[in-house]
Amino acid sequence: MRGTGSDRFVNAVFAVCCVGLAGAGAMRYWPAAPAHVAREHVIQEGSPDPIGGSEGAHAGVRMYVFVSSTCPACDASLPFYKRLSIEADRANASRRVVFAGLEPESAITAYLRRGGIQFARVLSVVRPAGVPGTPTIVAVDGMGRVERSWAGRLSPQQQRDVLAIAHGMLSAADVDTVEALLARVRARLRVSRDVASVTSIEADGIESSERGASTRTSPYEFTLRLPHTLRLRMGPILHILDAGVYSSRLVDGERYGGPMVDRIMKDPETIRAAAHGMQSHLMRLSLAYLAGTPVADQVEDEGVRDFGQVRGRTIVFRNTTEKARVELVVDVGTDQPLAVVTPIRTVGGPANGTDGISVSVLGSYRECGGIRVPFQIDDWAGTSHSRLTLTSVRVDGR
């Protein structure tokens, strides 16, 4: 009996040891619980947009990411936020992912850029309703109601959930119409009057062209009467486009005239190029000052594009009758008009017949006649750089 009891004791000890070893082995291969899991549903589903009042016209499907530059969990989450931003950019829906916080927009932008997020839409808010702190992600549906929310650093599975919901929301979202986008862009230029009320703009200034080591300065002026009349002086030549009919003349025949100038003014190829170019100039100036949509039968949103000198959301305007094309580039986050891009074709000289683009970067906005207009425009065409500096602008309207 003693032997049997001793055997039983030894067997029991051995069984316990086996169970312990099995448990230790299982722990090696059992997936470890994540060290961090964000709280979910921190804002009740169906609640109003937490910052709907700040968004104003920017309604629709969107995802808010609330961050702070002093938040360690935000720092650790930056790689995921960068991925979320890239995914939205690829879907041409980058404006629908909004990084928000209590800090000034400039501080939020600088913080995100340190994390590799270069072209984010940011928003400074005072009291986001129901947001417990940072980091917090809130998904809002097309009716302006909270769909999902997370507070804290996301686990890997939660990151996948957020990306899946973001993909579904962004793909199902109604794409902003060009008219709605242009309305928001025009709103950026309003001061005391509606930009759409402008019927004509007259401006004069100087153009400084840099080609290699040389710089040439010449007078520059234009009169734009909407929708399709443009008088544009570039150097000694005044180009006129009136209801689609092109003509030109020398501003001062006695000063600038001569056999060579006469041949250029009468050359058929030069006239054709100038007539085509004036159609582009009409569209370019209409968009540069957003006084009215240019004559175009195709208007399309091309998403975010990079033109070297400028990057932003791009809307293309095509006048198929005149074979003219102009692109308006606006800031992804603020809808501020940044540049106008036009195709160019070289006529005459060693580069005759070559194609390229001209990037007109708008800058130095000032108030004039109740609206904000660019008083300085930098034109880039290949290696050539020109700067238009206006000295006066007159705005008329109804």
Give pLDDT tens digits for 183-199: 889 999 999 998 889 99
What pLDDT does 71 receive?
A: 95
| Predicted local confidence at residue 306, as pLDDT | 86
Q: How far apart are CA 394 and CA 223, in angstroms?
A: 9
pLDDT score of 54: 47
Q: What is the mean pLDDT of residues 286-315?
A: 83
Lowest mean pLDDT among 231-235, 247-251, 283-287, 348-352: 348-352
d(CA 105, CA 185): 19
Q: Is the dihedral of CA 183, 187, 190, 193 positive or negative?
A: positive
pLDDT over 50 (residue 29): no
d(CA 120, CA 110): 10
Please state, in angstroms and rounded to a whole number, the distance separating the CA atoms of residues 339 and 284: 10
Token readout for 61 is: 């499907």
pLDDT at residue 164 tops 90: no
Tens digits of residue pLDDT in 352-375 = 555 789 999 999 999 999 999 999
Q: How many CB atoms lie within 10 A of CB 104?
A: 11
pTM for the full model? Answer: 0.57
165 vs 172 pLDDT, higher one: 165
Q: How confident is the model at residue 139 (pLDDT cuts 50, 70, 90)?
A: very high
Distance CA 97, CA 64 (A): 6
- Residue 127 is predicted with a pLDDT of 83
Q: How confident is the model at residue 82 (pLDDT cuts 50, 70, 90)?
A: very high
How many CB atoms lie under 10 A from the CB of residue 266?
9
* Cross-strand pairs, 377: 362, 388
- Whether 249 has a pLDDT exceeding 60, the answer reads yes
Predicted confidence band at 17 (pLDDT cuts at 50, 70, 90)? very low
Which CATH class, in words, describes the domain spanning 180-397?
Answer: mainly beta
Ramachandran bin of 113, using left for φ above 0, alpha for ψ from -120 to 50, beta for the remaining angles: alpha
Does the pLDDT at position 13 exceed 50? no
> What's phi and psi for 251, nearest 5 deg?
-70, -40
Residue with the bigger pLDDT between 135 and 85: it is: 135
User: Domain 39-175, what fold?
Assistant: Glutaredoxin (3.40.30)
> Is residue 217's pLDDT more than 60?
yes
Number of neighbours of residue 240 by Cβ within 10 angstroms:
16
Q: What is the pLDDT of residue 158?
A: 95
Domain limits, the chain:
39-175, 180-397
Q: Number of helices and strands (H, E) in the chain?
A: 9, 18
Helix (H) or strand (E) holding 166: helix 156-172
Instruction: Kindly write down the DSSP assignment for every residue of 302-352, as one continuous string.
Output: EEEEE-SS-EEEEEEEEETTTTEEEEEEE-TTT--EEEEEEEEE--SSTTT
**In the predicted structure, residue 72 carries a pLDDT above the cut 80:** yes
82-91, 249-258, 286-295: range with lowest mean pLDDT = 249-258
What separation in angstroms does the CA of 57 have from each of 109, 181, 182?
Answer: 22, 10, 12
Q: How far is CA 116 from CA 77, 82, 83, 111, 226, in A?
A: 12, 7, 10, 9, 43
95 or 49: which leads in pLDDT: 49
Q: Is the pLDDT of residue 119 over 90?
A: no
Give the ranges where 30-120 is alpha helix by DSSP (H). 52-55, 72-90, 105-114
Higher pLDDT residue, 398 or 83? 83
Q: What is the pLDDT of residues 250-290, one digit of tens each?
A: 887 666 667 777 777 788 888 888 888 898 899 999 999 98
Q: What is the mean pLDDT of the chain?
A: 82
